Amino acid sequence: MELIEAETGTQRSLGYVLDVGNPDGCARCWLDVAEGHLNRHHVMHGGIAGLLLDSAMGATGSLTVDPTGRAPFLTVSLTTQFVAAARAGQRVTAMGRVTGGGRSLLFIAGELVADDGTLIATASGVFKRVASDSLGKDRSK
């Protein structure tokens, strides 16, 4: 198991963990759902489900070129389908799986599942490999 924890402000704020050490090459991202993750309906906010899927899927793309899962991939498109609700006290885990693509674009599918096996959401996305030195530059010049 190779864990990435508290690497970004988002990870520190929400408390999710990214596991990039699986022999299947699929990254996993998990979160122990707490009160602060809930929406007004008292279930996990859909934006958090999308974030977990996006993180697991992007890291899965990264694993295709970098065994540490840290090579930068940007989300070009992400479509999410919400299937069931997650509640406080549950652990949810997102996993990505490459379904196609080439050298610069990858098609990746994702699933978010609760610890009791309930499918919470699915996603499909397109992810683009980018040079690490191009991130964070001001492109308006």
Q: The domain spanning residue 26 has which CATH number?
A: 3.10.129.10
Note the pLDDT tens digit of each residue in 52-96: 999 999 999 999 999 999 999 999 999 999 999 999 999 999 999
Residue 104, pLDDT > 90, answer no
Residue 134 pLDDT? 59
Residue 46, pLDDT > 50, answer yes
Residue 22 pLDDT? 92
In a domain, 141, yes or no: no
Residue 1 pLDDT? 74
Cα(84)–Cα(43) distance, integer angstroms? 10
| Domain with 73 in it | 3-134
In a domain, 140, yes or no: no
Q: How many domains does the chain have?
A: 1
In a domain, 88, yes or no: yes
In a domain, 116, yes or no: yes
Hey, which residues does 42 pair with through a beta bridge? none
In a domain, 39, yes or no: yes
Residue 5's CB: how many other CB atoms inside 10 A? 11
Residue 140 pLDDT? 47
Cα(50)–Cα(139) distance, integer angstroms? 27
Question: For 118-134, what is the mean pLDDT?
Answer: 90
In a domain, 123, yes or no: yes
Cα(7)–Cα(11) distance, integer angstroms? 6
Note the pLDDT tens digit of each residue in 4-36: 999 999 999 999 999 999 999 999 999 999 999
Residue 133 pLDDT? 65
Confidence of residue 136 (pLDDT cuts 50, 70, 90): low
In a domain, 42, yes or no: yes
In a domain, 139, yes or no: no
Cα(23)–Cα(90) distance, integer angstroms? 25
Residue 103 pLDDT? 83
